[in-house]
Structure 1
Amino acid sequence: MSGPETVKPVPEAPPNQGKKTPRDFLKSVIGKPVVVKLNSGVDYRGVLACLDGYMNIALEQTEEYVNGQLRNKYGDTFIRGNNVLYISTTKRR
């Protein structure tokens, strides 16, 4: 039998050297116009008011687009995170 093994500590990840994380991106677009694409293919365009760790999203001045066509305009909108495919920035028309 050999002696006790020494356990080497796991090296820490290097600091985030100028690279943006998804969290950094999401923080940077709060208060700005975004497009939220749902799994169903519907797009919601509006100003990102806030979001949480589950990707639940609150939008203001929201427009709903189905197949690229404007369908509805809403004031404030809440989108449940499990429906979100992606969030992207956009220029408002």
Structure 2
Amino acid sequence: MSEDAGQAVERACEGCGSRLRPSAPPRARFCSTACRARHWRRDLRLRKRVAAELDGAGRAECPECGTTWVAGVDRRSNAVYCSRRCVTRAWRARKESFGERSQ
């Protein structure tokens, strides 16, 4: 027999990589419920991103700055601008052009 035969193998959490406690069940994969949920959400986002990238229809572009993102994953599926900064910038440009036209 080898020297390590009597020792328990240290297992790591699939979510955060920390060591699982020795009393964890043999089938345990995560250190806590919160870590399992975090890993599940991260995996779901990744699967949605891959599906959108393969579709090709998931790309959107900000009309203000030209940034591209994956619609429905990075931002809402019906988002027009990439950030609040671009929304404000576009609103100010519209407001300014409206003020010039009305005078």
Do they superpose with TM above 0.5?
no
TM-score using structure 1 length: 0.25
Task: Decide which structure has greater helix share.
Answer: 2
TM-score using structure 2 length: 0.24
Task: Decide which structure has greater strand share.
Answer: 1
Larger RCO (CA under 8 A, 6+ residues apart): 1
Q: Which has the larger radius of gyration?
A: 2
